[in-house]
Structure 1
Amino acid sequence: MRPRIPSVPRIASLPPVALAGGALTVGVGGLYLAGLLLCGGEIESGTTVRGVDIGGLTHEEATRKLEQHLVAAGPRKLTVKVGDREGSVDPRQAGLAFDIGETLDRAASTDADPVSVIGGLFRSGGEIEPVVRVDEGKARAALGKLAKTLDQKVRDGAVSFTDGRVEQTTPRAGYALNVDAAIGALRTPFLRGAADSVTVLPARETKPRVTAEEVRRAVREFAQPAMSAPVTLTAAGKRLTLTPTVLDEYLTMRPDDAGRLTPELDSKALRAAPAVTGALNGLPTTPRNARLGLKGDKAVVTADARLGVEVTDKALGKAVLPLLTKPEGAARTGEVETRQIQPEVTRENAARLGLTEKMSSFTVNFEPAAYRTTNVGRAVELINGSVVMPDETWSFNQTVGERTEANGFVDGIMIYDDQYAKAPGGGVSAVATTVFNAMFFAGVKPVEYGAHSFYIERYPEGREATVAWGSLDLRFTNDSGKAVYIQAESTDTSVTVTFLGTKKYDDITSVKGPRTDVQQPETTVSTAERCVPQTPLEGFDVTVDRVFHDDGREVRREPFRTHYTPRNEITCEETPSTRQP
């Protein structure tokens, strides 16, 4: 800031010509004195700010005049642009204003040196550019708010498929307002004062990875041919046709690291699509072992094995994708590679696996009942043909599955909380007991088993088993050294399970001990809606020994200990709520 000198009163009556003539006679000193007298005011004559004349005014006078005229001349809004989006900034909210004090400091003629004072006699002030003041805090807040509406996320070009049609997404650059740099950029348009002009604010640009040119290439080379016509496939003699409206749901184009769009087919989802599964339904997807039976005590093959044929997700995708780039009118047909799944037991390998003779067989008889016939028959169907390789463990629950209506089972009578009750799968314990005894006399190793809570007369004491989904299983490990084949069959009143394989022992027998710790039942009356009458039977403990014989002599014994609770007598009585109308 220039140093100021005290104001000197003007001599308004002295003509310029006379002054000039006088100055020639008084010399330089006279000119200096005249300059002080005439230019002692703070603002040089002829000085203007944005057309506002402040020449010859004092600092205070000029301040008042500029406050009245300059502030009103400022723009009320600034039109700005970020990328290709326009918006506006309110200068007052952005902290933009004219600094009148600094502006007048520029305009003030206050130098006391002779050259400046004498020079003031021969010049006028001219136009002064106003000084702009920016409140950075307000500007940053206003620009931050503006960025939320004008910033633009980058958008990659894309190709998609809908209803058998190709759809394109145009790429778009992304812009993020550079707030720090934009603060300074607001000074110029505010100073210029042209509200209708557009100021491009500095922004960080993000270019799309997938360009418009790449979108055009992907459409031309892949997308349009892919949707131009159906493709036809053949798998193990089965024919299936996939139309564009089927394929579009599973087909996408995704950018790689270089931004090139490449096709992707969701082969797993396509394999499960009705158009595919329906066409391939007739394929034998799982192999079937050779069926074995007995001729005397010798095992024989009664039905040949069957290969399984699998169409994998990968093979389906490998067959479909190359056909999609073939143009309309070209042969869009191909073969799907299938995988053959070999059965474990065939006519050729049965003897090598050791499936040569009967190891054991056991039959359980029961009273006929519709639910029992259904449930026993379904369990037998699922068990029959099971093959247990050496050292493998077989599971009743895993083989039969949950006893539900969807799995082919119906409600029946079973033991629940130490009494008979109706529940899905009732009667299946007859199959479990039969499998247990076949396992017992085959000599293989029990892993998990459990008897009924109370004794049921049709089963052998201490040699019976029950199962419950999720809590009790019947499992054994094949430790015979050879494969074991389980044959199961049933009638309306019986179930028979036979183990085929190679005997490890000459003979296996059962020796039952006496009942011990005998307990008497109680008598109760039940009014439960699903009550089942129950006859009384004592509870007891019993031990059964599995005796192994080889070369005509006993080689070892294995005890099976069972505890039975008393079977209480239950009489069912109706109440008004349970009585049938």
Structure 2
Amino acid sequence: MALVAGAAGVGFGGLYLVGLLASGDDVPAGTRVSGVDIGGLSRSQAREKLDSSLGGAWSEPVKVRLGDSDGTVQVSGISVDSKETVARAAGAGSDPFTVIGRLFTSGDRDVEPVIRVDEAKARASLAEEAKTYGRKARQGAVAFHAGEAMSTQPVTGRSLDVDGAVDALASAVPGQGEPVRLPVRTTDPRVGAAEVNRAMKEFATPAMSAPVTLTVGGREVEIGPATLGKHLAMKPDGANRLAPVLDGKGLLADPALASPLAPATDEAVNARLRLDGGQVVVASDGKAGREVTAKALQKAVLPLLTETGAARTGAVDTENVQPKLTRDNVGRLGIKEKMSTFTVNFEPAPYRVTNIGRAAELMNGSVVLPGETWSFNRTVGERTEDNGFVEGIIINNDQFEKAAGGGVSAVATTTFNAIFFAGVKPVEYGAHSFYIERYPEGREATVAWGSLDLKFRNDSGNAIYIDARATDSSVTITFLGTKKYDSVEAVKGPRTNVKQPATREGASGEKCVPQTPLEGFDVAVDRVFKDGGKEVGRETFKTQYVPRDEVTCD
């Protein structure tokens, strides 16, 4: 038995040796790597063949599939390691059973290639593809424009999973059949197409189908789709349903509604005050008013928007509004003395008399409660013919020209000085571009509708009453309230950075206004606060004036 076993062992070993000698250092016959036959080749020959066949697999654009779309990507940093692949192919058949088996069979076998990946290079090469392919999710939406409802259909967001794409490209040798499928991530919009279609059908389209009519104090006021649409929106609620939102405040201020609504409402009128021997007294009582609130307007309008025909008419409630200032609360509001007063004199001219007088009229009686911010533009309004203003002389692009509201800067300058000497906080102000001789240097202001306002915040701790009066040659602004300081003084510094004017021709036509030359300069004015005769604070106002060029007109 021992002899038989020994003979068998010698026979097995002999066959293994014969198999090794037969194959030598070659790659076993029938060996393929990604479809490339390298069987029977020496290692060096096999490497050359792999380099020739697979070495450029990732150097050319690679066919890929992203979602439902096919395309190509240029990728770097991924390659076949032919040396290690051949070593794997040769070594995989060196065990005794495989070697002996090859003596009696010619079976084929596939060997996976060894892939080398430079992660940084591969990710960088895919970054541009990720940028091109990616898109943000777009929410479905409904908007209103020019009296029409408009829908925006949702779009699913998508992005390339770069790390996953590198793994996918490294796991599949390009050109071996189907495109390499790269992993992508998708983001569904919260507001989908079904919700957009529902919102359009149930609300948006009916809302813009016809005007709505409101009854206010026995009057009818019609609001057309174009006006409604400017103040109407649909926004996602907590359940991502598009819900209508009406900006009642904006709609209430819209001229298309404010003008016809005005006769049906009454503004509250503040009590009028005056100084009598240094004491503040009530000159006339205040008067309650009635108004439509933004909340009441929303409540009345929204239900009408989905109705048809006569059902698009409804009533809107009005509310009593008490004036800020009454005979009863003057004392409680702290309006007890003169805080400041200032007068600007001007050369009489019809446009100045009209515009300055109108601005003073609109300002007179204003009450600014503690903490409130007062605005010249909000109080006086736009300087238009409808608001009682006429064409006059203004400064535009550093020269005089004609425009509506000219001369109003005299009121702005007077008000600025009342603010200055009352010791309250200026919030927004701006000087004229060049100096005007009738105003104090560095203590003057101008205004421009839509671009420059004059504002102050009432930080005095008590209410402020603004008394504004104009004559044919002067305007006076007085602040009544409770003084913050015993006195406020102005200390002006010298002119610096003086620049000489030039001479130029003005604009052609009737709007050209000649002007005399005046140097430009910088100036600083200190506002000095005093209590008990001692300085308790100081702040500096700096102003830069450009030269006022001499302008001639044809």
List aligned pairs for 1:190-339, cutoff 5 A: 190-191=173-174, 193-194=176-177, 197-283=178-264, 285-288=266-269, 307-326=288-307, 328-339=308-319
Does residue 118 of structure 2 align to residue 118 of structure 1? no
Does residue 100 of structure 2 align to residue 100 of structure 1? no
- 2:226 is aligned with what amino acid? T
Secondary structure at the counterpart of residue 334 of structure 1 = strand
1:380–1:108 CA distance, 2 compared to 1 (3 A): closer
- 1:94 is aligned with what amino acid? S
8 Å CA contact retained: 2:57, 2:174 = no
Does residue 63 of structure 2 align to residue 79 of structure 1? yes
Distance 2:77 2:241 in 1: 47
- 1:239 is aligned with what amino acid? E
Deviation string 1:402-442 (CA, Å, 9 cap, x unpaired) is 9x99987999xxxxxxxxxxx969999xxxxxxxxxxxxxx
Q: Percent identity?
A: 41
8 Å CA contact retained: 2:234, 2:244 = yes
Distance 2:409 2:27 in 1: 113
> Which of 133, 137, 150 matches 1:154?
137
Superposition CA RMSD, Å: 5.7
User: TM-score under structure 1 normalisation?
Assistant: 0.53
Distance 1:288 1:223 in 2: 40
Does residue 163 of structure 2 align to residue 183 of structure 1? no
Secondary structure at the counterpart of residue 108 of structure 1 = helix
Q: Cα distance, 1:313 vs. partner?
A: 2.6
1:46–1:234 CA distance, 2 compared to 1 (3 A): same
> Which of 141, 146, 154 matches 1:171?
154
8 Å CA contact retained: 2:58, 2:78 = no
8 Å CA contact retained: 2:136, 2:158 = yes
Long gaps (5+) in structure 1: 1-22, 293-301, 354-368, 389-396, 412-422, 429-446, 449-466, 473-483, 494-528, 531-576
8 Å CA contact retained: 2:140, 2:152 = yes
Deviation string 1:264-298 (CA, Å, 9 cap, x unpaired) is 11222222223202212434542457999xxxxxx
Secondary structure at the counterpart of residue 248 of structure 1 = helix
Q: Which residue of 2 aligns with 1:296?
A: none
- 2:320 is aligned with what amino acid? Q
Deviation string 1:179-216 (CA, Å, 9 cap, x unpaired) is 2222111134435623xx44442233322111222222
8 Å CA contact retained: 1:231, 1:241 = yes
Secondary structure at the counterpart of residue 190 of structure 1 = coil
Distance 1:88 1:470 in 2: 69
Q: Cα distance, 1:119 vs. partner?
A: 2.4
List aligned pairs for 1:451-470, cutoff 5 A: none
Q: Cα distance, 1:29 vs. partner?
A: 5.1
Secondary structure at the counterpart of residue 125 of structure 2 = helix
Q: Cα distance, 1:121 vs. partner?
A: 1.0
Q: Which residue of 2 aligns with 1:497?
A: none
Deviation string 1:89-120 (CA, Å, 9 cap, x unpaired) is 12xx3323222222212321686665444223
- 1:120 is aligned with what amino acid? R
Long gaps (5+) in structure 2: 1-6, 274-282, 332-347, 368-375, 393-405, 412-420, 423-438, 445-464, 474-514, 517-549
1:337–1:35 CA distance, 2 compared to 1 (3 A): same
8 Å CA contact retained: 2:174, 2:180 = no
Q: Cα distance, 1:309 vs. partner?
A: 2.8
Distance 1:181 1:123 in 2: 41
1:380–1:258 CA distance, 2 compared to 1 (3 A): closer
Q: Which residue of 2 aligns with 1:566?
A: none
Q: Cα distance, 1:375 vs. partner?
A: 7.9
1:88–1:164 CA distance, 2 compared to 1 (3 A): same
- 1:66 is aligned with what amino acid? L
8 Å CA contact retained: 1:160, 1:168 = yes
1:342–1:40 CA distance, 2 compared to 1 (3 A): closer
1:130–1:345 CA distance, 2 compared to 1 (3 A): closer
8 Å CA contact retained: 2:363, 2:380 = no
- 2:306 is aligned with what amino acid? T
- 1:182 is aligned with what amino acid? A
Residues 237-246 or 41-50, more deviating:
41-50
Q: Cα distance, 1:332 vs. partner?
A: 0.6
1:69–1:291 CA distance, 2 compared to 1 (3 A): closer
- 1:201 is aligned with what amino acid? L
